[in-house]
């Protein structure tokens, strides 16, 4: 175990604090932990120097951090929601998934993902109870970055009911309504029957909601359908296909909307919709996200 080296002089002014604190962390054994915490302290102190919070404002900030923890439980992850509304989740997503190999861009997993969706055959409907909204057929192919179709790829799909709630937020919906797991055919094609999604507000009764109200922001997410697309030998794609107005895309409260994953919904004569979208996977090792919450949404 390393023994901390003592700084030579005590802190006498504001300017001394950052180097003094960094010196105290010098002996961190884990190189990555050292890199991350050194950067965190450097930038956090720079933020404090720039914003110059009063003591009352600091107290308020600590109260917000505590209430983020208190609002988190098995059915709600407020820390993730707060990172989402500050744009941090999307920044992390783009740092780790830059789309530079021609693969489909990723988007946030979101808090409403449940594993273990029912297995579906191509062309099955994921509407499992009376659900508002026009019929929508989502179809296309899963291909690799060289353009070859991927047979047997898995598409785990889920969306909110057009009344604004996911099935695990709403006791009025059937278990796994608007969720399903599909497998591509030999030619890489898939087909999913659902309903045209609508935009919905994120939960507003917690600290994230307080900040959104204080900032006069919309709480809305643009209409979207979530996908996790995976295949052996490919990096798993966590994404969303969007379909909404330009204004709704621009004002996504969690900054997830991107042009490359905006779907083109076509209205047919019978009033139903189709959307064709090809997912492109890049080579890599499949991995599967943990559902962000354990229980019913709380
Ligand atoms: C969602 O798309 O389900 C979602 C993403 C981030 C925050 C809230 C909801
Ligand atoms: Fe969503």
When mean pLDDT is compared across 188-192, 236-240, 289-293, the lowest value belongs to 289-293
Asked if the model's pLDDT at residue 20 lies above 90, the reply is yes
Q: Mapping DSSP to helix (H, G, I), strand (E, B) and coil, where does residue 239 land? A: strand
Q: Is the C-beta atom of 254 inside 6 A of ligand 1? A: yes
Residue 26 pLDDT more than 90?
A: yes
pLDDT tier for residue 266 given thresholds of 50, 70 and 90: very high
Q: Which of 8-12, 140-144, 173-177 has the lowest average pLDDT?
A: 8-12
- Could you state, in order of their start, the residue ranges of all structural domains in the chain? 14-70, 78-281
Report d(CA 41, CA 47) in Å as an integer: 10
**The pLDDT of residue 286 is above 80:** yes
**CA–CA dist 228, 292 (Å, integer):** 14
Q: Which atom of ligand 1 is nearest to the CA of 89?
A: 6
Mean pLDDT across 281-287: 96
Q: Give the pLDDT confidence score for residue 73 in this predicted structure.
A: 87
Q: Is the pLDDT of residue 11 over 80?
A: yes
Q: Are 183 and 123 in contact (CB under 8 A)?
A: no
Q: Compute the distance from residue 18 Cα to the ligand 1 centre, in Å.
A: 36
Which atom in ligand 1 lies closest to the alpha carbon of residue 81? 7
pLDDT band at 296 (very low <50, low <70, confident <90, very high): low
Nearest CA to ligand 1 atom 6: 110
> Which of 21-30, 175-184, 285-294 shows the lowest mean pLDDT across its residues?
285-294
User: What pLDDT, on the 0 to 100 scale, is given for residue 217?
Assistant: 98
Q: Residue 65 above 60 pLDDT? A: yes
pLDDT at 1 over 60: no
Measured from the CB, is residue 221 less than 6 Å from ligand 1? yes
Cβ of 162 less than 6 Å from ligand 1? no
Specify the residue with its C-alpha closest to ligand 1, atom 7: 110
**Residue 111 Cβ contacting ligand 1 at under 6 Å:** yes
Which pLDDT band, with edges at 50, 70 and 90, does 204 fall under?
very high
Q: Which pLDDT belongs to residue 58?
A: 98
For residue 167, the CA-to-ligand 1 centroid distance in Å is 14
Cβ(109) to ligand 1 under 6 A? no
Ligand 1 near 197 CB (within 6 A): no
Measure 204 CA to ligand 2 centroid, in angstroms.
Answer: 15
Global pTM reads: 0.92
CATH of 78-281, picked from 2.60.130.10, 1.10.10.10, 2.40.50.140, 3.50.30.10, is 2.60.130.10
Percent of the chain scored above 90 by pLDDT? Answer: 90
pLDDT of 136 reads 98
**pLDDT score for 8:** 76
Is pLDDT above 90 for 291?
A: no
219-254 residues labelled b (16+ CB within 10 A) or e (exposed):
bbbbbbbbbbbbbeebbbbbbbbbbbeeebbebbbb
Average pLDDT over residues 240-249: 96
For atom 2 of ligand 1, the residue with the nearest CA is 110
Task: For residue 261, give the DSSP letter.
Answer: G
Give the chain's mean pLDDT.
94
Each residue's pLDDT tens digit, 71-120? 998 888 899 999 999 999 999 999 999 999 999 999 999 989 988 899 99
Q: Is the pLDDT of residue 121 over 90?
A: yes
Residues 6+ apart with CB under 8 A from 105: 97, 99, 239, 258, 260, 261
pLDDT of 7 over the 80 cut: no
Q: Tell me which residue has its CA closest to atom 4 in ligand 1.
A: 110
- What DSSP assignment string belongs to 151-202? TT-EEEEE---TTS--GGG-TTSPTTTTEEEEE--TTSEEEEEEE----EEP
């Amino acid at each position: 175990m390393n023994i901390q080296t003592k700084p030579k002089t005590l802190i006498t002014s504001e300017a001394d604090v950052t180097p003094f604190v960094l010196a105290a962390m010098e002996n961190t054994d884990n190189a990555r932990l050292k890199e991350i915490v050194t950067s965190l302290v450097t930038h956090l102190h720079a933020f404090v120097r720039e914003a110059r919070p009063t003591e009352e404002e600091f107290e308020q900030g600590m109260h917000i951090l505590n209430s983020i923890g208190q609002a988190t439980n098995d059915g709600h992850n407020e820390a993730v929601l707060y990172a989402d509304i500050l744009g941090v989740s999307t920044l992390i997503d783009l740092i780790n998934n830059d789309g530079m190999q021609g693969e489909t861009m990723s988007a946030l997993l979101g808090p409403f993902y449940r594993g273990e969706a029912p297995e579906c055959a191509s062309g099955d409907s994921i509407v499992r109870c009376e659900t508002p909204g026009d019929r929508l057929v989502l179809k296309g192919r899963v291909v690799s970055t060289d353009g070859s179709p991927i047979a047997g790829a898995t598409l785990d799909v889920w969306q909110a009911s057009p009344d604004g709630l996911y099935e695990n937020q709403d006791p009025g919906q059937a278990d796994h309504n608007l969720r399903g797991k599909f497998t591509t055919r030999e030619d890489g094609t898939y087909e999913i029957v659902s309903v045209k999604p609508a935009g919905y507000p994120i939960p507003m009764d917690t600290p994230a909601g307080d900040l959104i109200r204080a900032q006069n922001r919309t709480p809305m997410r643009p209409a979207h359908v979530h996908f996790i697309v995976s295949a052996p030998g490919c990096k798993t794609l966590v994404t969303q296909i969007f379909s909404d107005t330009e204004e709704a895309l621009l004002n996504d409260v969690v900054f997830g909307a991107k042009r490359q994953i905006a779907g083109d919904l076509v209205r047919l004569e019978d009033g139903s919709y189709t959307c064709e979208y090809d997912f492109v996977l890049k080579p890599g090792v499949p991995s599967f996200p943990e559902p962000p919450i354990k229980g019913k949404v709380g």
